[in-house]
Structure formats: C-alpha cells, structure tokens
Amino acid sequence: MRISEKVAEVINQQIHHELTASYTYLGMAAYFDAEGLGGFANWFRSHSEEENAHAMRLYEYLAARGVKMGFQALEAPKTDYESAVDVVKAALAHEQKVTDQIKAMFDVVMDAREYTAQPMLHWFLNEQIEEEELFSSVLDQVEAATSRFDLLQLDKELGQRAPSSGASEE
C-alpha cells in the first residue's frame, strides 16, 4: 500500500534520528571503554545496536511501500564526558528528545490520516516509555554511586544486564 509523501518523508527523517541515537550511544560506549568501565561500555554498545535495529525497522517499512529513501551525513558523536553521571544524564535527555521526535512523526501521520502507520508508531512510543524508564533508573543508580568502588560494582552489574544483541527489542 502506498503512503503519502509527507509521511514517507517524516519516517525517512526518523531513520536519521535513530541512527544518530545509535552513533551517540556508540560515542558513550567509547567513553566508558576508555575509562576502564567495560560493563557500562557493553551496555551502551548494546543500546547502540538497538537504535540501529529501530532504524532498520523504519527502513523496512518504507522499502515495503516502495519509497525511495534518502540519507544525510551523521554528525560525529561526542566521546568526552565529565563523568558517568554526565553520560547517563545525556543519554536520558537523548531518549526524551527521540520521544518528542516520534510524537512529531505521529502528528504528521495523524494529519495525513495514514492509519496504517499507526501500529508501528505505537510500537515506537511504547519502546520510548521503556527506554526512558530504564535510563532514568540507571541514572538513579549512577548518582547513588559515590566512590570508584561503587561505580565498579555498578559496572559489573550493567555488564551482566547488557542484552546480547540488537535484536533484543523484538
């Protein structure tokens, strides 16, 4: 089924946002790897893969509808941060930004009366609820870690929690 140009455009744009999120988390993983916090790094790496899987979900949606997609260059992600708290705060803020982007995408879909796109967008919104909750719970934990020892404990815990692959959102 064909979809309106406007809807195709906004979904195409969301692919860029998801890839930006993926790259942003990879930058965060690189920060933690350099800090000797491999558990955090793995956790962020798996989130990077998850965002990539989100982009692919949107890609497949458009490809199946015969939309010719176009892509823009990605900005280099930051790899320098002040602290673990600084990173997780930035990650949570990034998730909140993505939630707003998805809501804006939903507005366009509603305006265009593109009802067939709604189940996918609901899936994305539900995913955002989970992600924001997850990041804010990790932020609470990182903020509670007052020593390097605490941080290493948390690092160990997050390393064990890291989902095994990007297919984890299924």
Residues lying near Fe ion in the complex (CB under 5 A) are found at 18, 51, 54
- Tell me how far CA of residue 152 lies from CA of 30, 32, 119, 141, 147, in angstroms: 17, 11, 41, 12, 9
CB-based closest residue to Fe ion: 54
CB of 107 to Fe ion, least distance (A): 18
Which is nearer to Fe ion, 12 or 154 (by Cβ)? 12
**CB 126 to Fe ion: min, Å:** 11
Please report how close the Cβ of residue 86 comes to Fe ion at its closest, in angstroms.
21
Of the pair 35, 132, the CB lying nearest Fe ion is at 132
Q: Which residue, 45 or 54, has its beta carbon nearer to Fe ion?
A: 54
Residues 6+ apart with CB under 8 A from 2: 65, 66
Distance CA 123, CA 169 (A): 10
- Output the smallest distance, CB 22 to Fe ion, in A: 8
Q: Which among 75, 78, 79, 76 has a CA at the least distance from the CA of 32? A: 79
* C-beta closer to Fe ion: residue 18 or 114: 18
Local structure of 69: helix, strand or coil: coil
